[in-house]
Structure formats: structure tokens, C-alpha cells
Structure 1
Amino acid sequence: MNKARFSMLVLEPGEIYFEDFSCIMNTQNSKTVGEIRTGHLKLCSKSLVFEPIEWTYPLTKLHFKDCTDISIAEKKKESETKNVIKVTIKQYSEMLEENIIAPYRFKYEKQDFYFFFDFASAEECLSQMQQLQRASTLHAPEHNSMVATILHSRYMRMLFDPVMMDDFTEEIICEMQAEKISPLVRHQGKLALTPTTLYFQPFSNIESSPIFKLKLDEMRKMYKRRFLLRQVGLEIYGEEERSMSHIYLTFPSEKHRDRIYETLEQSPNVKLERQHVEEMTLQWQNGIVSNYDYLMYLNCLADRSKNDLTQYPVFPWVVADYTSEKLDLNNADTFRDLSKPMGALNPERLEKLKDRYNEMNEPKFLYGSHYSAPGLVLFYLVRKYPRYMLCLQNGKFDHPDRMFNSVKDVYNNCLRNMSDFKELVPEFYDTSDKGDFLINKYEIDFGERYDGSVVQDVTLPPWATSPQHFVSTLREALESDYVSTHLHLWIDLIFGYKQRGENAVKANNVFHHVCYEGSIDLECVYDMNDRHALEVQIMEFGQVPKQLFTKPHVRKVTKTMQIPLSRIDEQKPQRIECIDTIKLHKEAVTCVVRVGNRIISVGKDGALKVYDMLQGKQMRSVVLCSTPLSSCVMVDDNTVAAGSWDNEIYLYNVEYGRVVESFRAHDDSVSCLLWITKEHLLISGGWDGVVRVWGNVGKTGQALRGLKAEFDHDGKITTLTYRCRGPELDMLAGSSDGEVFIWELSSRQLSSKVRVHAAPLRALSFVLSKDRIVTSTDDGHLYVTDLGVCHSVYHKQLCEAATALYWNAAGGSALWLGDSAGRLLHWNMLTVTQLYQLQAHSGSITWIYMDVDSNTLVTASEDKTVKVWQLLKSS
């Protein structure tokens, strides 16, 4: 049994604990007669709390506002010491008798309490108590201001004590006032930063450890936090296996917080794990990150923390069926509509709410209560954290009929009640704790309901056999295909573009204006009454998460994903070995293909070269024109089409060594070519901004007559690719304007247009699916763009520009990049990480071609060479 029963949770939220006095308490002015209790008196900002050493006795709490007199007790005998304080009070409360968690007992009777101090001076204690008693007579804002002044005075007198440091000779490079935050509790103290360690020393002796220590080289993550509408918080995570691995701090101002953040970030000993939201989103979309972990990550980014009940992580209701004997996760009716907020799921209720909304003056709100607030969080978690609820509700639990008694009843209430729109907390999906929040494990007497039944464990739906089974089933539902393909819609509402503004109005997702980040700047609210009212409102109402996305969130790839997750072993870098170096061109090689053992290349010298790998020699060489050749593709086993800067396309027969045909394809240079084998189509792009589709290629003299379509663009065409969508065929063109155009070939209509870059596109490739493209520019930017929502989901600024890209459309997560420094890079696009790089050429890599049959890569470069690379299995 833990005998240290006093904690900050027996105080009111935000109340400050000052110090502790060893003493004896009695209701009579005697140390020998009456109910004599030995213990400690806790001096707090709003109350006195006496903690008896004997845990069979309850803690006694005396509110200053209920005190009618605090004075030095009169001596009965002249020989007695005058070290006793008498407190006369109208009412008081008792708690934790025999250390049993239960509602506080409120004694509505006048009572005298005598405190016989062992060591402290009663005179000194009295002045502090009387000062706090005077403060209790003031209105809340004035009271808070007076207590803050007292606290500041104490801060100034207290210095960081270096005795508890690992090495007291360490140099303190930064020291300042701070608060350590945990749910409903704020521990005041001093933060000290040395070159190796972060220390937090609380002023009170209530913490389990007299000092918090975190080695800088053990820090892994660090987040700036918004706390009670102010940017003053900092949450730090260390290595999980350490006993002290996490701390949430707040500072007097944003300036102080930022100073510590920048000092830590610039420290050579701090090695933070950088996880950018775009990388995480792409990994989630690829199925590498689970829905649960992604939602926890988004909550963290949006200032949601389990240490702050006003901003506790929020999770969605995903299951709508709480009556069936068995849950069918393959039935769409099993699930809640994730495209709508909870308040909009019931059309009849929504109409009533909208009628009220339309009659309001600005600023309007649709929902008068929030989906996440301290009271709502503890509504779900009262069985797990009963002392939090007693703290929040002044020593009382909710009425038994208003408690979390049945999952089905709570869900139905969220659908029908005009003021209940709450979502869930992560514990509903966290299998590690086995649903312990659903069990009355402390055997607390929560009372009886209207039907006489005693409140015990939460009643589960028929399809759940136990709390553990309930949570694991909900987790399975959260990770199901249905939720995976719709979760982005809920993310849009909570963290995304439907969170605020006109889009929120259209989505019926409007809450009270005070709960939105940026709507209120408390630093500019100088009236104490107004400021206090806002803080209380936030504590009770809750806060909308920080907005993370301003465009529609991408959808998770599920069954359309071509790469099974069992292929994660591709994270290992593939080893490659150069098996041939071909030096035939006089100038830069611009494009290369491999057909069997033949390597066919074109270059800026206007020449087309054919090299036989078996014989190790050049088989064909022809100068097709006096201008550079930009590109080449094989249109059949022996015919290669080459695009030229002289506006022509040349068809060359490799077997017979002659030009079969040439024709003027564009009004400016031909910049790129694309061959679609199944449809037997040649597509060309030009600097004239036109893409043309040719259908009679290979029939001598018929190419120009076979012009199937042409598509106009504003900028020069720099790169081409295509995709098949069932019977439909889309052609994608990248331009010098940084845009990607998607054309439907059968209808010749523009399906969509995406501005990806501000600079000209250099290379374009699909990656992982038919809805994802990767693009690069000459200024070193690399983007992954989701065509489903027509915006980028990942961006990387490379050290050197990626001048060539290759992804094997037959599957796999490997993306090969060639850069302007001649390096060949291997990326795993499932995990969005670079695995390998090799100095392949001395000049920029202009083209990468993969031959699946021989499992080789062929690279062309401005250094006038072509190289053939054998892909080897990772050891």
C-alpha cells in the first residue's frame, strides 16, 4: 500500500503547492487529548491539506475561502510554547481514507483545527496562510494574479541546486523558470541546461524524483507545443527504455521556449530523429505505417499530447454496429461515415442544428460542445484514472446514469443528443493495455443507476467477448480496407482543409470560434477577467487541433498496391556492379536502350550507335543529322525511333543499317519520345509545346498520315510517360512550366493538370502505383505527387539535381535516380529512404534504362560514356 497519498491531484486544477510542514493535527488545543494525528501540513494556493502518517485516517482539506479565522492559538499554560496555529472553518472535506479512492466526504459543519508545528515557526507560517486567505476572497482573475506574484517572489529567491547534477562542476549554459506538465498538474521549478544534460528541478518535494535528468545524446524527438492557447510548450522524448525518457515543459513566454528549443537543436550532442510529415504520409499511404500509428503521429504534430487533457489525442468512431453478435468487417454498413463529423451523421439532428446556426449572429457555430475536451476524455477513462476525474470535478464522480456505462448507449447518444458530438480516445484502439480502461479495476463505488444496477465494468457490444477482444476488434476495424480507404476524409475534418473556413461550413464542421488556433491571442488579452474566462472556457470546451493540411489529404493505397508488404526486405540496398563501359560518342550521350545484347544510344553528336555486348564491339554507327539527338525508343525488335533537335523523327533499322524513314514531327526540337507497345503508338514531345501521337510508325511513308492526336501546352515539353486504367490510356506530359498534364487518349480530353514545380521538369516517372508520380527539376527538387488529389505528398531538396529517374512498372519499390554530379542513387519508395549511392559517371547522368530480362541497368552520361550495371542480390 502506497502511504504517500498526497499528490497534486487532490488540489484543484492549476492550484499551486508551496511547501510542507511536519506537525500534529487535532480538533482540540492539546497534544495529548482528542483525535491526535501526526503528519504533514501542505500549504497550497487555495487550501491547506493535512496528510496523516497513518493511512487509515483520511486526508483533510481546508479551503481558504471557507476559513473564518486563522491565528496563533492561545496558550493554556504559561509554560507552553506558542507554536500552534488555529484554523476555524465553516466546512471541509476528507479523502482517501484507508487509501481507498472514493468521492470526497464533505463536512458541512463549523470546526476548529489546531496544528502543532514540529520545526517550523508558527508565526512565519501564519503570515503566509493569512496572505493566501486574503487572496481567496478575491475574484478568480485577481486571485490568480496575487498568487502569481507570490509565486514569482519565491522563484526569485530559489536557485537551481547543482548538488543533484551528475557532475556539479558542469557548466550551466542556460537556466530559467519552467513548469513540468502532466494531466491537470503543473509542477513549478527550474530548468538547467549543460553541454551534456537537461535538468529540471521542481520546487516542491512532491515529485517521485528530486530532479529530472535527460542526457542530450539520448534525446530523440522534440516538439513545440501550444498550451492553453499560448505557444509556450516544449515536449521532449528520449530513448524509450530509459526510466526518465519524456518531459513536457512550459515556459513564461514563447521567447523563453524558443531560446531553449534553439539551444538544444544546435547542440552537437543532440541527434534528433527527423520524421517529416510528408515522409510519414507517404509511408502511411504505402502501408508501411499503420492507421493507428499515423493518427498518433498526426495528433502529436497537431499539439495533442496525453499530458494535456485540453489537447488529448483524438481518434474517430469507426464502427457503427454495436448490436450484432458478430462484427462483419467486409460490410460497409458496419462502419461510420468518415466523411462527416459526428454531429452531421444524424440528418434530423443536423437540420435542427443548422436552423439554430442560421439564426445566430457572427461568429456562428454549429456545435455548442466539442469532440474532445478534458471532461470528455475522463468520461471514457474514469475507471483507469479516477483521481483525474475527482480532481477535475471537485471530488465527485458523475451521476451514475451519466457515466460511461455502455458502448452502444454512448454511440447512440453521440448520434442523437443535441449537445453530444464526442469522438474517441486512442485507448479504444491501443491493444497494449488490453482495454483496461473498461474495467473497474480499483473496485470503486461509483453508485447505482436508476434501475438499481451498480456501476461496474463498461457493458460491451455482443460481438466483444472481453475488454481485450473489444479493443483488438476495434483495432482490426481501424486497420481494415474500408477505414483505410476512407480515413483521409476524417483527417480532412480534424487536421485538414475542412477544419476551418468555408470548407468547414460546407462540411458542417463549425465549432465555437474560441477553440480554433489563432482566433485568440492570450498575450494580447490584458483584462484579467476576460483572460480568466477564456482559459476556463478552453479547459471546459476543448481545442481544435493545429491545422496540418490545407489541401485534400491523400487516400491510402490498399488493394491496388502492387507491392505486397512482404517485400519490405527491399529496404536492403541492391548491390550493383559495372560490367561494361562503352565509349563511342564524341559528345554527351542523351538516351540509351538495351535490346537483348545490343546497346543502342544517341547523343549530342547527332550519332546513333549500336554496341554488341557479347562481341564487345560497335556494330552500327550512323550520323542521322547535324544537330543533337535528344531521345530514342525501340518501335519493334529492329527499328529504333530517334528524336532530333532539327524537329525530325528518324526511323533507323538496326539489322540492315539504314534509315527507313524520317519526317518533320514538330515546329521546334523533338525533346522526348515514348513508345506504347500494346497500342503500337509513338508519342513525341517538342519544344513547340505540342505532344503528338503517331499510329502508323513502321509502315514506310505512312507516319505523317498516322497522326492520331495532338495536344497543345503553354511550355516546352520536357518528359513523357503513360498509364493504363483498365481499357483507358492516359498520357502524361511534363513541361518547362513545372506542370504535369494528364490527357485521356481515347477522348483526347485533358483529365487534369497539376503544377508540381516552379522550375522546368527534368524527369517524370510513376512510382509504386498508377496514381503516384515522382518528378524532378534542374534546381534539385524532388516531388512525389498523388494524382488522386492532384497535389504533392512528399518533397525533398536533393544535394544535386536528379537528371534521370527510373522505376520498374512491373512492380518493386526501388526507384533509381541519376544526378547532375554523376551519382547513381537507389531509393526505397515504400519507406521513402535513400539506401545506396554510387559515383557512376564523371558527368551528369542523362538517362537510366532497365532491362528486366538481364536484370541490368544501363546509364548514359554527359561524360560521353554508357555503362551497364548488373544488379546483384543483397548479401
Structure 2
Amino acid sequence: MPIDEQTDSIISYDWISDSKSLKIEASKPDLPNENARVLCILEDGDTINQIINCSLVLGLNITEGILVVGKKKIYFISDLHYDPLKREVLNIDLVPKESRDINIELITGQDNKTSIELRSNTNIINSWPLKDIIYIIKKPFLLRDVGLEVMLTNRSSYFLSFADKKFRNAAHQVLSNYTNITSLDPILAKVLQQLTEYGNQIGSWNGITKANLSTKFSSILTSKVFLADDFDATNLWKLNKLSNFYYLMIVNSLAGRSINDVTQYPIFPWVIADYTSDTLDLNDPKTYRDLSKPMGAQSEKRMIQFMERYEAMKSLNNENVKPFHYGTHYSSAMIVSSYLVRLKPFTDSFLLLQGGQFGHADRLFNSIERTWSSAAIENTTDVRELIPEFYFLPEFLLNINDYNLGVDQNGNHVTDVILPPWANNDPKIFIKKNREALESKYVTEHLNEWIDLIFGYKQRGENAVKACNVFNKLSYPGAVNLDNIDDENERRTVTSIIHNFGQIPLQVFQSAHPSRKYEKRCAIIKPQIFEKFELIDTKNHTFEKVQYIKGVQDVTGKHIWQGYKFLDVTLIEPEIGSIRIRLVSDTGLEINGTIFKNIHNCPITVVRKWKENMLLTGDSDGLIKVWEYKKEKDTFILNELSLLTCHLNKIIQIETFLENNILITLDSVGYVYSWDMTRYQVINCFAEDGKFISISQQSETVGIITFPNNLLKLFTFNGSKYCETGVADEKKRVVTLQSLEIIQSPRHQYLQDVDYFVVGYSDCSISVYQLSLDGTNWEIKTIPILLHGVDTSKAVSVLSCIRMILFQQDCDKSSNLQLVLGYHNGTLETYSSTI
């Protein structure tokens, strides 16, 4: 039965976890035709434009299925296969082995021909609205040009692998019509646009050996010489407008690396060479590794050994045995999985590679100093580099899941990773210092040398030989074409070598990468004197308690502040325009004149803007709802997307971190929860005594004011505590908490000091607190603030909310700090200071 015909088959289905995934069960598991399954999962009004067989890659988990491109959404449906000749969808178990994805068996070692009896008769479906696609980029998979990565507006991404380049290109051609980067900031939008353009060009010539380059491919290859000069990200980095971390992530993406594929995970450099000192001096060049040399050349003695190996292999003059320095690689699935072995899903990847066992405890990643010594000095089979998590994720160094990792040869149980003395046994300190080192003057001015080795002109050829930077030939793109290997055993062997050994990134730069001059950037706020200035806004008086302070720009570019009472606020949406939200009853809202009744079963207590045209509402019973406000035909509707159920008491505050899809919520009893909004699932419970909450938009640091002791406690988003301090006494009480907002020009720069929290008190005074690392200890410092021009008559009104914004300019320009205070009587006061 063709896919576009109707069916009378009996189908039942159950929804799971969230509105983006569902599980479908067929009442007749022996039916060879699965068209009905596909038809029943389409969103109402959606139609099928195209169906392509592919696999979804996540770590070492490869799931076969079909990619259905509809009019509204794209759907990946597992365990199905599409026969284009018969126009039929089949259960994957009924498909001949030669038509199946061989990568599953090659990577996992498991037969992909699972019996029907053993397979659960379910399909897991992922669906993504076409309008949410930001960009798609062609990428290699196992050194074959068959991969495609899709990035969505919520910053999640998905990696798909196809049978061959033809099918991948067909999917790319269809999906590229829907990319939309207009919702992003201009810098990121421009970078992603060029990533797509250059990435698709690179995908068309990498994998072609130099000997048989056609004129067409030669011209493309030659054109890449100017990439370092014309690539916007490189120019922005040179001008100190992108952090080193952010720029390396861009280059990794351009070179075919992806966080979704552990065989091609992003590569980051070791930058610190001192893991034995009690204190770390980041101003001393001796603290750092030599970025002009690969890891195998950090030790003179070991470098000589590798060079002698190369010369010995070269002297054999064997065309089938190309000489190399290293028989191992700096990045592989095993290296990535071993670094992240304490975190799911990488634990599963590690166990898969290890045959289901953690293995000998002494071989596990268990010590930073020991790992550095092995990779840089001692071990001739270890030249590993690092991964991005070493610069932002302290939790990967902790055995938070309490795995039994065994006992080492000294009789010690292996649990958390052993840190260098200067980290004071605190992963947060290690990550902060490592990130400071990555963004330091020394690394900034030498990072281009490391890029030359990994992504540039010293990656291959005679320049690589001189740099002691040559690896096994099978790790280079273009060295072998797996599609031309007919013998299955030989293909399995070659793929296994590529998979286990590691892959050289696609070469991005054909000439020396430009260097960058270091300019220190910070957001340090010293004791400030604020001067009061008049508000331009004439609608600053609500005559009721100010609960929202909103900033807009006038025609001259000046910021105007407006105060709004509870649930009477105007939001601006790019597609819909101005949205006014007003409470019309305990359980109903009016949005742009349309009344939506009884959207909760009890009084609404909180409304919060989420992404695009999405809203969050909380009620007095502790239920949080996720809504989409959209236009269908000539009518605006409020569509319920999901329920967040964990609180049992009145929701009193919702704070958001949009870039990482994070929520922090607080109820009237004091419970504070964090949420993953890509899956609409709770992550962690921070506290049971919260009174006010806030989250830093720069670092994700969570601030909580507790009761009844009025402590300010600071945490990482994953719940690891930094420190705490008292913020009030018997004479005044805390009435609001807000983190400092930093508006950079441009964004994506590195600012060392960003964690500032502003506390407002019942006597209308305020205090500013900064999270600071004093040597090897976290502390919260108080920054004195003095307000000039205070109207003493305001003492009769109580402070209700605060916004503090730092307008960060370029290094040679002063920055402006603005403080906006809202009061119970509906007025605003605005103060300004220059730093």
C-alpha cells in the first residue's frame, strides 16, 4: 500500500516524556507494511514531502530509521525502512542485511540483524518543527562524506548518517530551504551562515586524494587559502570580539567535529603544564605547554623517539606502509569516553568499547597530573589532547553517579578525579583556572600555532613531518574510500581501525593561521557612586506595585525603562509583534484582546516569557504550564505544549536561562528546582528554604536567598555549592534578588568576573555581592554602592524589584552601569555610573 494512501489497519499509541517524542505500538506486529505507523504520527494538517533512510547518531548509539520531511515538521522514526520502489515502509527486521546500516555492527560489534522475537515492537519518534531549524551542515562520518547535522533554535543539534552521499545531499537540499538564523544575534548568525557555506564546500573536497583532484576540486582547494583572512569568525577573534573557547568551537564545527559523534568529538588543547604546584601563576610562561608543538613533542626525549620511528619506517621505502610518528591519536571515541566515563551517556559508550567492564582501575582517567604526564612526557602510546568539558563542566570530574570503578594498585578506591594541588580538591576551581588559562595572554598569543597543527597547514604533508605531527594514514580524510572496499571483512577491519584509532579533522586553513594580540577584558565593578537621572519614559507610573521592569530602545538608541504591574506587560515578538498580556480572572489571561479562560484550574500566580512566542505560567497548586502563542489562519491560539510537575505548593518565581534551555523555579514553601526545557524534565532540587532566586545570564550561577536566616547561597547550575554569606539583619529584610545583566558589544567575549548579585531591602537600600576566587577559596564580597540624588520621600514606598545592567563596550571605551529600581507605589528610579 503506497504511503500516501489511507489505511484501515488498527493502530494504538501512547505519548511519553514530552510532546516531541512518542512511542507507537502496532496491534499486528507481523504486518510487513508500516505505512500506517507513519501516517498516524503526523501532526494534524501535516503531509509527507519526502522519506529518506538514515541513522540517528548519538555518541556510539546508532539508531536506524527513516527521516520523514513533512510540511510542518521533520520526523525521525526508528526501526523502520523505506522502499522507494514499492513506496512502502517496512519493519527494519524484514529488510535484507545488505540494505541495513553496517556502521552499527562495525562500531558496536553487535549484529544489526536482531530477531523479531527479541525486538520490542515500538518505535521512538523525534520530531522537530521546520521553522525551528537554524542551520544544517554537511559533515563526514567515519571518514565518509555521508553525515548531516541539524541545529535548532533551542541550541540542540542532531547528527544523521546516510547510506551514501547521494541520499545525504538529497536531505540537505530539502532541509536547507527551511533554515532560519534571523532569530539569532548578528554575530552568531553571520558565523553560522559562513559555517554552512564553507562547511559544505569542505565536505565536497575533503576525502578526495590530492593525486586525483579534478580542476573543479583544485579550485575549491585553492580558494580555501583565503579562509583565515575572510572568515568572519577569524576576524572577530583577531579583534578580541570572540573568546578563545568560542572560536575553537566554531573551528571544530567547521572541521567536521560534533558533540553528537564521539568518534569526531571537538578537540581542545592542553594549555597548562603545571599540575604539581600549590599555586598557579598564569603570568608565568613556564606554566603553559608549548602550543607550537604537538603533544608528542612536549618532551625532547620522547620527540626524538617518535622522529626515529618515522625515519626507520621511511627507510623501508614501502608504498603500503606510510611512515608516521604516532601509532595512536590525540582524539578518539575511547579517549572521549574515558574522560567522560563518570557521566551518562558516555558511561555506556565506555562500557561498550570495553566489552561491558570498566577494566583495570589504574587505566581509568583518575588523575589530571598523571594524565598530563602520560600524554606529554612518559607514554609513547599516549598523545591525547583535551575536550571542551575541561573548560566549563566541573561535574565530569566527580563520580556523582557513584559507579564502582574499582581499586588501584595502591589499594585506593577510584571515585572522583584527583586534582592538582592548586585546585584545592574543588573541580569548580580547576575548571575556572583552566578556562582562565585558555583565555590568558600567553595562550591567546600562541593559540594560532596549535590551530596550525590540528586544523591547519601543519596537519599533513612536509610541514607535518617537520613539526613531528604525522599519524597513521588511515586517520586522514581521503586516505581510503570505504565504499570501494567490496570485501566485508576488510571493510570491517579498516572501519574498526578508523573508529578506534581516531580521525584527523578536516583541514580548514591552508596557510598559517593569523595570531591575535591579547587585550584583557573584564566586568569588574568597584565601589560605585551612582548618579540619578531623569527617565525619558513617560509611562513609568503604574499606580500599582512594579513587578516587571522592561527596557526598550528609542529612535536614538537610548534605553528607556518601563514599569509594569503584575500580569499587565507588553512583550515584543519578531514574528507576531507586540503582545500584551493581562490577567482577566484568577485562571484566565487576555492576550492582545483575546481572552483565554480557565487555562489553569486554580489561580495563576506567575507568568514568564520563554523563547520565541512561548510563555510559562505557574499556579497556586504548584503546576507549571508551557504555552505556545501562535496564529493559525486568522485566529490566535494558545497551545499547551507541556506540564512541569514537581512542585506541590504555590509557584512564586520562575527564572530563565534561555541559551541553555534552563529554568529555575521557586515555590512558597521554599523548594527550588532546576529544569531541562529541551525535554521538559526536572534536573535537580537546589534548596528547601528558598525565598528569592536568580540566575546569572553569563555563567549560569544560581543565587538563592534563604529564610529565615537571610543567607545568599551561590551554586553551579548542576547544584554544586560555591559558598554563602549573610545579607540582612533584624533592622531590614530582603525584598528582591537580581543578578547583574551584562550587555556586551559584541557578545561571546570572555569576561573573567561576571557573577554579581544585587539585593534590595525593605528600607530601599541595595547591596551588590560578587562571587570571587581568593587563591584556593570561594568567597562572596560586598561591593559598597552609594546612590546620589535619592528622593527621601520615597521612604513611604517599598522597593519591589531591581534591574542592574552593565553596558560593556570595547576595551578602549568606558562602560556604563545602570540601576533601575521599581517601587510599590508604581514609580521607577534610574541611576547611572561609568566604570
Q: Place the TM-score, normalised by the shorter chain, in its bin.
A: 0.3 to 0.5
Larger radius of gyration: 1
- The structure showing larger relative contact order (alpha-carbon pairs under 8 Å, at least 6 residues apart) is 2
